[in-house]
Amino acid sequence: MESVEEEEEEVRRIVTDEEKLEAKNFNIFDLPDVPKGLPPHLELQRTRVVCEVGAPLHATGTIYSGAYISSGVDNSVNLENFSENFKVDVISLTKTDMVFDMIGIPPG
């Protein structure tokens, strides 16, 4: 029979530094069954303006950088990323009118 001290020794488990580091660096989004990114309807609202007859939908952007962090999406503004991703496509140009798309900037 094992003594009480030996039983207590088996129950007590000391967490190693390696296990602590692994737990600290754990990211739920690394698990294979956790969906990544936003659901399609939120991604549409985040990245597009929908033009309706009465008024545009989702014309204002989400200002708070942590709005989608629970889904693993970083919504923060970074000047380097902005300058790399922003572009203007001119659709048509006349003496009086110019039609263009601004890509990579929130519409609001």
Q: Would residue 63 count as lying in a domain?
A: yes
Output b/e per residue, 76-106; b: 16+ Cβ within 10 A: eeeeeeeeeeeeeeeeeeeeeeeeeeeeeee
Of 40 and 90, more confident: 90
pTM for the model stands at: 0.44
Cβ atoms of residues 101 and 53 within 8 Å: no
Q: List the domain range (segments joined by +) for residue 19.
A: 4-103
Write down the mean pLDDT value for the chain.
77
Indicate whether 108 belongs to any domain.
Answer: no
Q: Is residue 92 part of a domain?
A: yes
Predicted pLDDT at 89: 93
Residue 13 in any domain: the answer is yes
Q: Regarding predicted confidence, which is higher, 92 or 40?
A: 92
How many domains, the chain?
1
